[in-house]
């Protein structure tokens, strides 16, 4: 048996694990990285990257169908679903070298392509190698959660992992789950020519501001999507090409393909965490604010830590633990400034508190300021006027922002910066945005905060009149 001693052992080569490994080795630490599946993890191979590539294909088809408003004749696109998947694979292949085993070995990381299992508080077995590490970071991510719905085990179904192997466009895609994954893939497939029915046991996009989520869902229904809410799947039956989902209230839905998109489950199995004294549950590994587990030599980051399940969160966690592990400095993770986006058309993005949360937490101290996209000149020029920004403010500082509209995922960055640095609304209002851009939406929202204070204030008017009288 091979034995290795190292400063840092990283289990999992997804976004978070790779960020830790790359940062640590380049700052002088000895690093071992374990990965028994694909380098790059879920984000590169099954999640963020392929989904956005397929969304882009669907958006291109949609553009061709809707050119008349710009003086360009509408055209029904000739869609080759297999070619769209080739585009997806090409995008993955283009990005993959950055996450590759070869690159990390070139940086000086010892990469072992085996599953790791704890054998003690700071020892891990990986194939025929035993690694002893001063510190260990578990970054094993998450996998699609498949609920135990009666009959599902006898029916062919897809997840976000297996969807990418499909080469023929589904005639009628049933999607169980109306969260970000389900909704994004629903719109992409609808625009690529499939019939789509979304079956959600609660309300679709129920973690987002309901007013803004309704704008997205209304657009999808206008495009022809069927969205069935309060339809808890109770039984699934059928065979390939003819699948039936029965809801608890008796509604029945039939389609040719089934995509299960009801959430994610932390990858905690087969790690033998008990042998290291690491506490965990179905929701993930138990961590404190510094991302340490119940074993102070072991950290957990990203999806497996049971917090917000986004790639950028895993990368953020990586920075937190690097500070602690490499420099021995106190470092804590926060969640209040973490943004997220759903990449539908229009996009929906959020950071900090929603309107409902702000009013509940801050009561009458919470103020909400809005600005619609249909008053933005760039949105008007490009026909992207469906949208709205809401900024929640307490004592002159933003505590949250919700945006629905074109490029919402990009626009939310300003407010993520504001929350991360405790900025005031005056500092956002002081920003000069180039004209005409969608970025002016952010400045106008900040301006909405000051407008009543400047233009509706009797005191301000009195001061202005006095100054005008005394000026030479």
Query: Which residues are documented as binding site for NAD(+)?
Result: 177-184, 200, 263
Q: Which two tokens stand for residue 175?
A: 């999607």
Residues 402 and 385: their CA atoms lie apart, in Å, by: 16
Residues in the chain, total: 472
Please answer whether residues 52 and 87 qualify as being in contact, where contact means their C-beta atoms are separated by less than 8 angstroms: no
Residue 441 DSSP code: H
Q: How many CB atoms lie within 10 A of CB 128?
A: 9
**DSSP helix/strand/coil, 370:** strand
Please answer whether residues 32 and 105 qualify as being in contact, where contact means their C-beta atoms are separated by less than 8 angstroms: no
Q: Would you tell me the crossing angle of helices 440-455 and 458-470 to the nearest 10 degrees?
A: 80
Interior CA angle at 54 toward 49 and 57, to 5°? 130
Residues 247 and 255: their CA atoms lie apart, in Å, by: 14
Interior CA angle at 390 toward 389 and 396, to 5°? 125
Please answer whether residues 258 and 158 qualify as being in contact, where contact means their C-beta atoms are separated by less than 8 angstroms: yes
Write down the residue that tokens 């919470």 correspond to.
366
Please answer whether residues 21 and 33 qualify as being in contact, where contact means their C-beta atoms are separated by less than 8 angstroms: yes
Q: How many CA atoms lie within 13 A of 402 on its CB side?
A: 22
Nearest to 226 by CA among 195, 203, 266, 184: 195
Write down the residue that tokens 């949250």 correspond to.
400
- For the annotated binding site, the residues are 52, 116, 140-142, 177-184, 200, 263, 303
Q: How big is the chain by its Cα radius of gyration, in Å?
A: 25
- Burial group, residue 30, by CB count within 10 angstroms (0-12, 13-18, 19+): middle
Alpha carbon separation from 328 to 91, 186, 234, 244 (Å, rounded): 39, 46, 51, 56
Residue 166 DSSP code: -
Q: What's the farthest any 2 CA atoms get from each other in the chain?
A: 91
Residues 346 and 373: their CA atoms lie apart, in Å, by: 11
- Element containing residue 260 per DSSP (H, E): strand 257-260
- For the annotated binding site for FAD, the residues are 52, 116, 140-142, 303
Q: Which ranges of 328-367 does DSSP label H, i.e. alpha helix?
A: 355-362
């Amino acid at each position: 048996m091979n034995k290795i001693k190292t400063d840092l052992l990283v289990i999992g080569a997804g976004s978070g694990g790779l960020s830790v490994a790359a940062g640590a080795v380049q700052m002088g630490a000895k690093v071992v990285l374990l990965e028994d599946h694909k380098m790059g993890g879920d984000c590169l191979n099954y999640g963020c990257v392929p989904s956005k590539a397929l969304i882009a294909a669907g958006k291109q088809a949609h553009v061709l169908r809707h050119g008349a408003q710009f003086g360009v004749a509408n055209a029904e696109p000739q869609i080759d679903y297999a070619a769209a998947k080739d585009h997806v694979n090409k995008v993955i292949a283009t990005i993959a070298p950055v996450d590759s085993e070869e690159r990390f070995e070139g940086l000086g990381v010892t990469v072992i392509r085996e599953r790791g299992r704890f054998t003690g508080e700071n020892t891990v077995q990986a194939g025929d190698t035993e690694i002893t590490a001063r510190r260990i970071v578990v970054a094993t991510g998450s996998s699609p959660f498949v609920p135990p719905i009666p009959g599902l085990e006898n029916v062919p179904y897809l997840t976000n992992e297996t969807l990418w192997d499909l080469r023929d466009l589904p005639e009628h895609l049933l999607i169980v789950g109306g969260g970000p994954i389900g909704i994004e893939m629903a719109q992409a497939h609808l625009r690529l020519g499939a019939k789509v029915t979304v079956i959600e046991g609660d309300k679709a996009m129920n973690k987002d501001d309901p007013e803004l989520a309704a704008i997205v869902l209304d657009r999808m229904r206008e495009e022809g999507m069927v969205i069935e809410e309060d339809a808890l799947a109770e039984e699934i039956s059928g065979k390939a090409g003819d699948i039936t989902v029965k809801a608890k209230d008796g509604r029945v839905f039939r389609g040719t393909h089934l995509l299960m998109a009801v959430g994610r489950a932390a990858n905690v199995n087969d790690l033998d965490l008990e042998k290291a004294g690491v506490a965990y549950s179905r929701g993930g590994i138990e961590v404190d604010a510094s991302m340490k587990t119940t074993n102070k030599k072991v950290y957990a980051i990203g999806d497996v830590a049971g917090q917000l399940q986004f790639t950028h969160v895993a990368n953020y966690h990586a920075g937190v633990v690097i500070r602690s592990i490499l420099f021995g400095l106190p470092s804590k993770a926060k969640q209040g400034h973490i943004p997220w986006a759903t990449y539908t058309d229009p996009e929906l993005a959020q950071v900090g508190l929603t309107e409902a949360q702000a009013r509940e937490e801050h009561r009458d101290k919470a103020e909400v300021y809005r600005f619609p996209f249909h008053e933005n000149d760039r949105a008007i020029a490009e026909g992207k006027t469906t949208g709205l920004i809401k900024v929640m403010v307490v004592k002159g500082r933003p505590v949250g922002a919700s945006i629905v509209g074109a490029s919402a995922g990009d626009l939310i960055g300003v407010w993520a910066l504001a929350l991360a640095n405790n900025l005031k609304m005056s500092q956002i209002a002081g920003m000069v945005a180039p004209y005409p851009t969608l970025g002016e939406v952010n400045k106008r929202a900040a301006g909405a905060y000051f407008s009543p204070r400047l233009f509706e204030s009797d005191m301000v008017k009195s001061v202005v009149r006095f100054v005008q009288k005394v000026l030479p």
